[in-house]
Amino acid sequence: MRRRDFLKTMAAVSGAALATSCSQSGTRANGDSHRVLILAFDGIDPVILKSMIDSKRTPNLAKLAQSGSFARLRTSTPPHTPVAFSDIISGADASVHQIYDFIHRDVNPPNPNAVVRPYFSTAQATTPEHQQALSWGDWQLPLTGGETLLLRRGPAFWDDLIRAGIDTSIYYLPSNFPPADPGGRGKFRCISGMGTPDLLGSYGEFTLFSPDVPRQGRTVDGGRFARLMMHAHRGRSKLLGPPDFLRKDSTPVPLEAEIEVVRDPRAPIAKIAVSGQVILLNEGEWSDWVPIRFRSEIPGGTALGAIGAPTSIHGIARFLLKSVHPKLELYVSPINIDPLEPVNQISTPTKFAQQMAQRHGQFYTTGIPEDTKALSNGALSEDQFLEQSDLVVDERTRQFRGALEEFDRGCMFFYFGATDLVQHMFWRDRDTQHPGRVPEEVERYQSVVENVYLGIDQQVGEAMAALDSQDTLIVMSDHGFTSFRRGFNLNSWLAENGFIKLINPAIQGQGMLFANTDWSATRAYGMGLNGLYLNLEGRERHGTISKNAKQSMLGEICDKLMEFRDVNGAQVIESVAVVSDRFSGADPMIAPDLIVGYADGYRASWATVLGQMPRELIQDNMDRWSGTHLTAPDVVPGMLVSSRKVTSNDPSISDIAPTILQEFGLAPSSQMTGKPLFGNG
């Protein structure tokens, strides 16, 4: 089902939802059991939503707001999805959960030549210090394995619910991979969301097969272009998988799966064979999920497999036959963990993911399923990206409907992420001042963002129809949205102002991860999307700033950042938070020293994230990724529409957790700093 068909189908629900307005009895086994349903739509902006409510374009949300409340929610500092949902889950800020950005940095990386190493902030894979393995020649059979650690600290609201015997279901919440079993009297089910890797251990690596690719292929951020030449209408290539876990090589050797493509000499149709599966696609057609098996070339693999030793890894992918004639191009999605045979824990209990796949069909398990990198790098067109996003929405909607049917007691929290990713990619089409706006595309795509809001109104309508008058419905977003027109090169600014010393100024802008940095004379650096770190003695490997000089250095940087102006006189930085003042419990080994809050229209450049230093301080953003929320928190508040009246004068996303607990008569955890939104009524 595509987005336009979904909206037509769901339109019939709207009238029924308005009539019931959370008052139908449903089919619960226990009609007296109070239920709390939280629907989280990532990135829904309160300004846009309020406008659509007032114009009666979202009737279900309008009805819910009229009977309950509509409110803006103060978002996290900084307003990143992993940070914000850590606030939501824990009922506290980063002082407790210690998540400060999408990207954190390791100041003691294993490579002795490196000074800092970036890593995803909420989860980290570990390798045993003394791994046991059977070894022969170039091969090994591990007997012990590593594990993936959830780095979010502090409480989770469902811990208290489960201990109190309240059934709880959590669907796709960010900052919750791998999902842990809290233990307790209540039934707990959870499927992990943002932070869940693909089979390669990345956060989504597509492949585009095309004849217009060098023989050695081409790697880009988020994917790979691979060569596929057709001879007599037949072609072969390799789909790269994860590293061969049975090899000893210090340089990982990827496993491979051979792909064979045969096209019709005249018709726009082709047959694709991979891992023993054969699929037939028309030009422009998406496949269903295709199982892909990557087998190790370990000698005696058949015999090892016969005794139960793992010699292959299994994943799933979707194919899009982009074109057939005159050239054949084939897109392959990131290879997702197969929920029927998960190689990582993606659900609690483990069988929950399997049950979801058995009931609703295979589904995207990668934490960010919408392939924005493929769109930015030209592997998918705008229309093809929207089709791929529709596939995700279709899957989530089937699962949501199934979850509503099963929801007879307790708490359910269901997260939808497409709302965020579509806004990121199509914001420029609604922003007349965006430098990357393409006039020829505006008419076609300027309504894409508002169509997302129409879609959530229908999902809210289904929720309203499924609930009773004594139940509580909370519809919320973690942050809002604005335009990303100009990118600020924070490290370039630090270098120009003498806080970073370059080894060779003549090659500024070349290399990543501070490759041209003289750390012996560097005083500060930026990493991640809003973080700024001092090069502190005793913390960084080559620290230059003493603890006594820390506060004066922070003050100097803050003052200069706030004074900085764009070439047109516009303010670029709206706020700078001193982390030790803003977050009293900040772990100094994890937290940045400053969090830079950008003004409306500005954001850290992509170069800033991993320590690059272009010569320009500010650059126009010409990328399709044109919307943002990585600004100062006040620029992008979240929103809440609820079936109960909000009594708080300053509602915050950290109030969600204590509100849920209060709904079940439970006191907030001692670490929760948020307050119930609905008072004591």
Model confidence at 511, pLDDT cuts 50, 70, 90, reads confident
Model confidence at 144, pLDDT cuts 50, 70, 90, reads very low
Model confidence at 127, pLDDT cuts 50, 70, 90, reads low
562 occurs within a structural domain: yes
Final residue in a domain of this structure, among 343, 377, 411: 343
Model confidence at 508, pLDDT cuts 50, 70, 90, reads very high
571 occurs within a structural domain: yes
Mean local confidence (pLDDT), 481-501: 98
Examine the pLDDT at 397 and tell me if it is beyond 50: yes
Q: Is 133 left (phi over 0), alpha (psi -120 to 50) or beta?
A: beta
Residues 489 and 591 in one domain: yes
Tell me: the pLDDT tens digits for 42-68?
A: 999 999 999 999 999 999 999 999 999
Rounded to an integer, what distance in angstroms lies between the CA atom of residue 331 and that of residue 578? 45
Tell me: the pLDDT tens digits for 363-372?
A: 999 999 999 9
Model confidence at 242, pLDDT cuts 50, 70, 90, reads confident
* Other CB atoms within 10 Å distance of the CB of residue 654: 26
Model pLDDT, residue 130: 46
147 occurs within a structural domain: no
CA 670, 676, 679, 681 torsion-angle sign: negative
476 occurs within a structural domain: yes
Examine the pLDDT at 492 and tell me if it is beyond 80: yes
Lowest mean pLDDT among 251-265, 278-292, 452-466, 480-494: 251-265
Final residue in a domain of this structure, among 343, 367, 398: 343
Residues 219 and 323 in one domain: yes
Residues 6+ apart with CB under 8 A from 303: none
Residues 6+ apart with CB under 8 A from 510: 516
Examine the pLDDT at 335 and tell me if it is beyond 60: yes
Final residue in a domain of this structure, among 634, 655, 671: 634
Residues 259 and 372 in one domain: no
Model confidence at 312, pLDDT cuts 50, 70, 90, reads confident
Rounded to an integer, what distance in angstroms lies between the CA atom of residue 282 and that of residue 296? 32
Tell me: the pLDDT tens digits for 338-359?
A: 999 998 899 999 999 999 999 9
Say what percent of the chain tops pLDDT 90: 82
Examine the pLDDT at 313 and tell me if it is beyond 90: no
CA nearest 543: which of 552, 551, 534, 553? 534
Residues 17 and 70 in one domain: yes
136 occurs within a structural domain: no
Q: Judge whether 564 and 494 are in contact, CB under 8 Å.
A: no
Q: In what order do the strands lie in the sheet with 290-295?
A: 290-295, 312-317, 336-337
Residues 458 and 445 in one domain: yes
Examine the pLDDT at 247 and tell me if it is beyond 80: no
Tell me: the pLDDT tens digits for 565-603?
A: 999 999 999 999 999 999 999 999 999 999 999 999 999
Residues 476 and 496 in one domain: no
Examine the pLDDT at 142 and tell me if it is beyond 60: no
Rounded to an integer, what distance in angstroms lies between the CA atom of residue 319 and that of residue 326? 19
User: What residue spans of 345-447 are helical by DSSP H?
Assistant: 350-360, 372-376, 382-406, 418-426, 439-445
139 occurs within a structural domain: no
Model pLDDT, residue 322: 98
User: How many structural domains does the chain have?
Assistant: 3
**Residue 514 main-chain phi, psi, to 5 deg:** 60, 35
Residue 90 corresponds to which amino acid? S
Say what percent of the chain tops pLDDT 70: 88
Q: Is the peptide bond before 243 cis (omega within 30 degrees of 0)?
A: no
Determine how β-strand 35-41 pairs with β-strand 254-263.
Answer: unpaired
Residues 166 and 315 in one domain: no
- Strand ranges (DSSP E) for 88-247? 103-106, 117-120, 123-126, 133-136, 139-142, 147-150, 168-171, 188-191, 206-210, 218-220, 223-227, 234-243
Residues 165 and 216 in one domain: no
Model pLDDT, residue 139: 42
Residues 351 and 489 in one domain: no
Residues 563 and 502 in one domain: yes
Q: What is the CATH number of the domain that holds 357?
A: 3.40.720.10
128 occurs within a structural domain: no
Model confidence at 297, pLDDT cuts 50, 70, 90, reads low
667 occurs within a structural domain: yes
Residues 498 and 376 in one domain: no
Q: What is the CATH number of the domain that holds 493?
A: 3.30.1360
> Rounded to whole angstroms, what are the CA distances from 155 to 43, 195, 658, 671?
24, 18, 11, 7
Kindly write down the DSSP assignment for every residue of 40-82, as one continuous string: EETT--HHHHHHHHHTTSSHHHHHHHHHSEEEEEB--SS--HH
**Residue 6 main-chain phi, psi, to 5 deg:** -60, -45
Tell me: the pLDDT tens digits for 14-47?
A: 444 433 444 333 344 443 579 999 999 999 999 9
Rounded to an integer, what distance in angstroms lies between the CA atom of residue 552 and that of residue 557? 9
Residue 491, helix vs strand vs coil: helix
667 by Cβ neighbours in 10 Å (0-12 / 13-18 / 19+) ranks as exposed
Residues 618 and 654 in one domain: no
More confident residue, 242 or 264: 264
Q: Domain span at residue 462?
A: 1-25+35-99+156-196+344-481+636-681
- Residue 10: which H helix or E strand, with range? helix 3-20
Mean local confidence (pLDDT), 372-388: 98
